Chains A and B, each alone.
Chain A
Amino acid sequence: MRAVDALMACLKAEGVDVVFGLPGGANLPTYDAFVDAGIRHILVRHEAGGGHAAEGYAKATGKVGVAFATSGPGATNLITPICDAMMDSVPVVFITGQVRTELLGTDGFQEADTIGITMPVVKHSFMIQHPQELPRAIHEAFHIARSGRPGPVLVDIPQDLSRAEIDYEPVGDVRLPGYQPRVEGNQKQIRQAAKALAAAQRPVIYAGGGVVNANGSEELIEFATSDRFPVTCTLMGLGAFPAPHAQWLGMLGMHGTRAANYAMDEADLICAVGARFDDRITGKLSEFAPRAKFIHIDVDPAEISKNVPAHIPIVGDAKHVLAKLVVEYRATGADPARLNAWWTRIEGWREKYPLGYEDSTDSEIKPQYMIKALFEATGGEAIVTSDVGQHQMWAAQYYDFPAPRRWINSGGLGTMGFGLPAAMGAAVGCSDRLVCCIAGDGSVQMNAQELATCAQNNIPIKVFIMNNGYLGMVRQWQELFWDGRYSHVDMGQFPDFVKLAEAYGVTGMRLEDKGTLVEDFKRAIATDGPVLVDVRVTREENTYPMIPAGQPAREMVG
């Protein structure tokens, strides 16, 4: 059979039920194979939309997402999603067409050095040099993408090789002697961690996206509640620990709660799980958690002691390690009463500094209220994707995520335009769930073309644009740190999003009244098919509280 037909067989063997992509000359053979393959393919309108859709699918389902593109511009359009998937450890396999082998290196039509361009931002990549290699490469790509610390893997297939005949035999194993991720965790280290936790007077659990990736949420809850350990999550970890919980401190970091950031600041022991001490968490590194010792649990050894030296390093995934840690911890017989004073202190911060904002006295919709209203209208049960900016931070602060894989956003790369296509992918992967996108009026324009994809395929995402007419987060920084000298952040009221929605064949709505917002949201959600809602909010509202970049947690403002 042709190599491309074997490719389809491999995708099926990997359990792929949907592919996002867009064809071109170099992957014509692949697209010919789709005709008879019986694999659902969703034609996107821009490869970046396809890449982010594959990410959204992967984050919502926990399975590997798949995106296809042709050579040259098709492949370069994938760079942002590939980099995004790398930064946020999202398992996606990207399959690109390449020019014929005889043209390689000659600047042939639509030739780009895809392997070279993507090398810094992939977990691994395969350049197919012989058609017979293709099946094994595909299976290895899926294995690498999903195991250990997940990430993007790219397979580049020259056009002539993709249509060549091969002897296809199903591949049952992978041969990757240089790739052996460790998930179990060293028992001795885990016991040491349990002892340290038993000795701690002011412990904090700091959990990140690694807990979600490892499907370790239940283990996290069990561990945290085996005593009264306070828990905070990063932007990527939201939902790993249920927000409405007595031990929940809220998100930490630049726009986290004071309770979470102050607890980190005063902690004597921080147990980091699947989190990487990003600068948006630590602020000024030299003054980060100055009194704390660190247990660092991560499946990627290179994260341990990269930014903050660990006292007890544990290489393993959150699920396995936490399951063992709870057993060890229970055996220490530690006395929960030792944490009373610590909780009194934390309660003090919670009472004194709750998340809050000044509501409008008229019908104006405050952006924070918009999120609360959406939480109410969805009963907190939606999968929520977001773009990047102020709306993202408010969504993270005010939508209390009760479970993992409900909050899907671009944390590491901070990619505007992520939310809409990611919602599309999540909705395709989880067709039984409501999927909402909280979009920025700036961000949404970066991938609005996928509304056509949603309309054509009746993918019923509900997109709520927090429309402040600004590149709001940049405006906020210019206001606070650049003397209010606004430079190119005002977008006016363009475009008319309702008309845009209608042009794409999507239901459009505009909402401007706080009084009916919850009901209006319910109406949008009850509307069949994709809906785009233009929500007009306060134009110049700032996201608080905030640790100014490079400052320590103690310097939180707002």
Chain B
Amino acid sequence: MGEPGTKEPLSLEELEAATNLRTGRKHVLSILVENKSGVLTRIAGLFARRGFNIDTLTVGPTDDEAVSRVTLTVDGAVHPIDQVTKQLHKLVNVLKIRDLEPGDTVSRELALFKVAADGVQRGELLQIAEIFRGKVVDVTKRAIIIEVTGTTEKIAAFETMVRPFGLIEMMRTGEIAISRGRTET
């Protein structure tokens, strides 16, 4: 900045307040944390006491054993994402936070569906699974387990399709996400 000061005038009218308080969309936060005991409790506790809801949460190792990655999704229509990330940054064990841009991100979730399959509909069910590139991982007389991987939206769509067949149980991992291109997430 060199020399201090400037005489260039400014009108207070020009000043704009921070407005990105509610973005109105889903945010995927990719958080690198130190792999120490209690870190997840600190994150979960922070969300609970500040009244932020976590939609999905996944935790896993990274290529560095001292570091874990937490991927969580938050609804930016309900919560001020800026405040969420700033509060997260205050946790001493949080190393880095990326609020992933939807366009620059590949995100995936894995889900297992246990569907009733005693009747004549078995063929139709398998057809749907194929369209969604689902994998049949277990078959018994009365039920089929189908594994589906994809975006959260795809999994939700699959759920809608198979529900009429008699959805016995469903399990979802929560989203993980990675940034596109050469840069690290």
Contact = CB atoms under 8 A, between A and B. Distances in A.
Interface of A: 115-116, 119-120, 123-124, 127, 129, 144, 176-179, 187-188, 191-192, 194-196, 198-200, 268-269, 293-294, 300-302, 305-306, 309-313, 324, 327-333
Nearest to A294: B17
Given A191-B5, A293-B12, A309-B21, A300 B38 contact: no
Contacts of A179: 92
A243 B155 CA distance: 64
Contacts of A331: 3-7
B104 interface: no
Given A196-B12, A199-B10, A301-B86, A177 B41 contact: no
B183 interface: no
Contacts of B152: none
Interface string B15-47: 111110100000000000110011001100100
Contact of B6 (A144, A191, A293, A300): A191
B4 A328 contact: yes
A195 B9 contact: yes
A188 B11 CA distance: 17
Interface residues of B, number: 36
Given A119-B41, A127-B38, A309-B19, A195 B8 contact: yes
A329 B7 CA distance: 10
A124 B36 CA distance: 13
Contacts, number: 95
A305 B15 contact: no
A199 B12 contact: yes
B5 A332 contact: yes
A269 B41 contact: no
B8 A178 contact: no
B88 to A, nearest CB: 9
Nearest to A327: B4
B16 A311 contact: yes
Contact of B15 (A124, A198, A311, A329): A311
Contacts of A129: 37
B52 to A, nearest CB: 13
Nearest to A192: B10
Given A309-B21, A310-B17, A124 B8 contact: no
Interface of B: 1, 3-12, 15-19, 21, 33-34, 37-38, 41-42, 45, 49, 82-83, 86-87, 89-95
A315 B15 CA distance: 18
Contacts of B92: 123-124, 144, 176, 178-179
B5 A120 contact: no
Nearest to A305: B18
A539 B41 CA distance: 48
Contacts of B16: 311
A191 to B, nearest CB: 6
A309 B16 CA distance: 9
A305 B21 contact: yes
Nearest to B33: A178
Contacts of A119: 38, 41-42, 45
Nearest to A300: B90
A302 B45 contact: no
A199 B45 contact: no
Contacts of A302: 83, 86-87, 89-90
A137 to B, nearest CB: 11
B90 A195 contact: no
Given A119-B42, A199-B12, A333 B7 contact: yes
A309 B41 contact: no
B10 A178 contact: no
Contacts of B4: 191, 324, 327-328, 331
A328 B6 CA distance: 8
Nearest to A187: B1
A214 to B, nearest CB: 18
Most-contacted residue by chain B among A187, A200, A293 (CB, 10 A): A293
A195 B10 contact: yes
A195 B1 contact: no
12 contacts: A119-B38, A119-B41, A123-B92, A124-B92, A194-B5, A302-B86, A309-B17, A327-B4, A331-B3, A331-B4, A331-B7, A332-B7
